[in-house]
Amino acid sequence: MSVFPRMARLTARLRILLTIKLGIGVLLMGSVGVANADCLSRCLPMCDYREPYCQEMRNECFAKCPGKGSHDFGAIAYSRATGATGWSNKRDTRDEAEQSALEYCGERDCEIEVWFDGTCAAIAVGNGGRPTWALGDTAREAQVNSLAKCRDAGGGACEVKESACSRGAAD
């Protein structure tokens, strides 16, 4: 018996297995672009995303990697009269994100303070009641940035009122 027929059968089996694995990989990727999937697979560590470090890494990876083929809008609304906030994330359009944030804010005087796409945002308010906003790769970074802007604007006793990320979980 020749070795070549065995190799031919083995090669055919390998081709079938590779085709099946490739098909499953494409299905799992869904609408994520190949470049984005490659970027995410290189960036994301294998860890438990309930842990704060892993959540932050996940947010950073999503912020670094190119878009997923659609937008990921979010918005934060704020009421200066009551201090109420509302936020939204993972919306397809800016208008949807803003409308949702206003609805969740729930006060007549709620205004959109910031909208964002594929990143994180936060608003901080000081003594004067004037909100300042900032963006960041993670919610924590956006919070730190908004506090700094609040202090730079002369706000005393600045505090973060809200933060949200349009990709991943706000941490």
Query: Among 3-17, 48-62, 139-153, which is the least confidently predicted range?
Result: 3-17
From the list 64, 76, 96, 79, the residue with the least C-alpha distance to 167 is: 64
Residue found by looking up tokens 């009421």 in the block: 79
pTM above 0.85, yes or no: no
Question: How far is it, in rounded angstroms, from Cα 62 to Cα 110?
Answer: 30
Beta-carbon contacts of 32 under 8 Å, excluding residues fewer than 6 positions away, are 40, 68, 69
Summarised one tens digit per residue, pLDDT across range 150-167 is: 999 887 899 999 999 986
Summarised one tens digit per residue, pLDDT across range 107-125 is: 999 999 999 988 999 999 9
The strands making up 159-165's β-sheet, listed across from edge to edge, are: 131-136, 120-125, 159-165
Q: How far is CA 97 from the centre of its chain?
A: 14
